[in-house]
Amino acid sequence: MTELHQKAQNWLAQDPDPETKAELQTLLDQAQSGNESAEKELANRFADRLQFGTAGLRGRLQAGSMGMNRVLVAQAAKGLADYLIRNDKEPSVVIGYDGRKNSQIFAEDTAQIMAGAGVKTYLLPRCLPTPVLAFALRRLDLTAGVMVTASHNPPADNGYKVYLGKQHGGGQIVSPADKDIAQQIDLATQIQINEYARSDDYTVLGEDLITQYIDTTAKIAVAPKFELNYVYTALHGVGKEVLLKTFQAAGLPLPHIVAEQAEPDAAFPTVAFPNPEEKGALDLAIALAKQEHAELIIANDPDADRFAIALPDSDGNWKSVHGNMVGCYLAWHIAQQAEKQGKKGAMACSLVSSPALLEIAKRYGLQGEETLTGFKYIAKVPDLIYGFEESLGYLVNPETVSDKDGISAAIAFVDLMGSLKAQGKSLQSYMAEFAAEFGAYASAQVSLRMRELADIPALMAALRAHPITQIGAAKVVQTKDYANHAEPAEILVYYLDNGNRVIVRPSGTEPKVKVYLDVKGTDNADAARVLAELDDDVRSLLRQDMYGKQDC
C-alpha cells in the first residue's frame, strides 16, 4: 500500500461520519484499482492540512485533511482544549453554530471533546447569529468561544471561528495565539480521534442568554417613534429571529420579510453566492421592495455578523450602498451622539476601509485609528466607541461584543433613519450633507480570482519585484509594504499624487487577491467619475506581463 493510500486508510479508521467515510472509501477503492483521476483527487485531499490561523478554519465540506469534516474538527477541538488548559487554571468555553450543513454536529463534537478534556463547556441552544456567541463569551466571562460558521462563503463550505475572552477581550484570535493553538492541534493529530476523551457533561444555555443579548442591543435605539417602509432579507441565514425580536424590544417599525430567504437553509437555493455584496444576492429583496414601494432594503449575511443596505435612485432602480459609505454614515451619526453626550473615545477602521473615518473622528474631537484587517484588531483599540470595515462589518456596541455585529448595526441604521425623519430629512439628503461636510468619497474593489493558491504569493512577489510607480496619469508618491510592519501582513498600499489610494491584499478566506480603490471628488458625481477612471487604470496595469496578465 502506498503512503498516500495508507494516509487515507488511517483517516477512514477514525471517521465517525457515514457520508464522508463512504465518499473517501469510494475514492480510495477507485485509486487502488488504477483510476488516475481518483488518485489525483485523493492526493489533493491529503496534500496538506487545512491550516488553522487567525481566521480559525474555513474550507470545503469533504473528506480528508484538506476539508472541513468531523475528523478535522475533532482534532481542532482537542488542540484548542489543550491550549486552554495550558493557559487558564479554570478553562471555559462557549460554542455556537449557524444553519450550514454539519454546523450542529461540529458544535456538539466540540462540546463533547472540550468537556471530556476538563474544560467547563457551554453550548448555545440552537443555530444563532455569530454576534450572540460573541456576546455570550463576554457576558459569561469565559476563556474562549467557538463559532461554527462559514459566514458568507459558498454553500459547500463550513468553518470554525475561535475567540479568546477574559484578559484577551473577547475578540477573534490574533498572533501568536493562532500559532500556539495550531501547535496543539498538530500534537492532537498524533492520536486517533476515537481515543479522545468525550463527555456529555456540558451545559446547554437557555433562552435567558438570548434575551439578554436582545435587551442589551435594543438599547442602541434612541430615535422617537416613527414609521418606515422597508424590506429585510436573512439570505437563508440565522439572522431573522433575533433581529425581529430585537427590533420589537427597541420599539422600531418592523420590515417586510423576504419569505423565500427567511429561514436557515444550508443549500442557499435562491442565491448563487450567499453574500449581500455579490451581484444578484438581493434580487428577491429588490422585487419585494418594488412591490411594497419600500424606502430601504436591509440585509444580513448568513451568520448575521454583516449588514448591508440598498436604496432606490430617482429612476426607481435599486443599488447597494458600499460598505465604506454605510460605515461613514453610521460613524457621523454616532459621532454626533457622542458630542451631545460629552462622550470621548476612539473610532477605528481597518486600513483597507475609507480614510473618511479619520476625518469624521477628527472633526468631533475623537481619536481616529487605522488597524490591520479584521475586527480582531479593530475591537482591541482602546476606548473604542465605534469601528467598521468596508466588507459590511460594523461594531456599534463595543461595550457588549468584541466583533462585528450585523444585528446591532441594523438597529443603529434604522434608528438613524428615525432620527432623520424626526428632522424632516431623508437618507438621500443626509448622504448629500455628508459629502458637503466631509467631501465626496467613493470606493470600489477589483478582485483577482486565482486559479491556484500558489498564484497569490507569486503575484505579491511580482508587485515587489516590479514596483508600481504610476497608475494611469497619477504618480505613486509613497508605497507602504506591511510585510515590514511590526505585525507583518501581506498588504501593499500605494498613495497617489492626486490624493487617491490603492491597496493590494490577498483574501483571508478565498483564493483571490483584492485591490481596494479609494478616491475623493468635488461632489458625488465627480467622485464616481474619478473612481471609474482609477478602476480602468488599475485593471490595465495588472494585465501587464510582469504581473501575470491577471483576470480582473
Give the E-state strand segments of 351-392 in sequence order. Answer: 367-371, 384-389
- Which of 57, 241, 19, 51 has the alpha carbon at shortest distance from 151? 57
> In this structure, are strands 144-148 and 92-97 parallel, antiparallel, or unpaired?
parallel
- In the structure grid, which three cell numbers stand for residue 147, read together? 463559532
Query: Which DSSP state fits 259?
Result: G
**Amino acid at position 202, single letter:** Y
Q: Which helix (H) or strand (E) holds 307?
A: strand 307-312
Question: Which residue has 417586510 as its cell numbers?
Answer: 256
What's the length of the chain?
A: 552
- In the structure grid, which three cell numbers stand for residue 476, read together? 505613486
**245 close to 254: Cβ distance less than 8 angstroms:** no
Question: Which residue has 456538539 as its cell numbers?
Answer: 108
**138 close to 402: Cβ distance less than 8 angstroms:** yes
| DSSP-assigned letters across all residues of 474-538 | EEEEEEEEGGGSSS--S-EEEEETTS-EEEEEE-SSSSEEEEEEEEEESSHHHHHHHHHHHHHHH
- Which of 466, 528, 478, 540 has the alpha carbon at shortest distance from 503? 478
**216 close to 400: Cβ distance less than 8 angstroms:** yes
Cis preceding-peptide flag for 18 (omega within 30 of 0): no
**237 close to 99: Cβ distance less than 8 angstroms:** yes
Classify 93 as helix, strand or coil.
strand
**201 close to 96: Cβ distance less than 8 angstroms:** no
Q: Which helix (H) or strand (E) holds 183?
A: helix 177-188
The strand pairing partners of 158, in sequence order, are: 59
Question: Which residue has 474550507 as its cell numbers?
Answer: 59
Task: Identify the burial level of 45 via C-beta atoms within 10 angstroms of its C-beta, where 0-12 means exposed, 13-18 middle and 19 or more buried.
Answer: buried
What secondary structure, in 3-state letters, does 188-220 show? HCCCCHHHCCCCCCCEECCHHHHHHHHHHHHCC
- In the structure grid, which three cell numbers stand for residue 228, read together? 418606515
**242 close to 210: Cβ distance less than 8 angstroms:** yes
> In this structure, are strands 230-233 and 256-257 parallel, antiparallel, or unpaired?
parallel
The sign of the CA dihedral 485, 540, 498, 393 is negative
Query: Which DSSP state fits 253?
Result: P
The sign of the CA dihedral 493, 498, 499, 501 is negative
Q: What span, in angstroms and rounded, lies between the C-alpha atoms of 66 and 68?
A: 7
What residues are annotated to the active site? 151
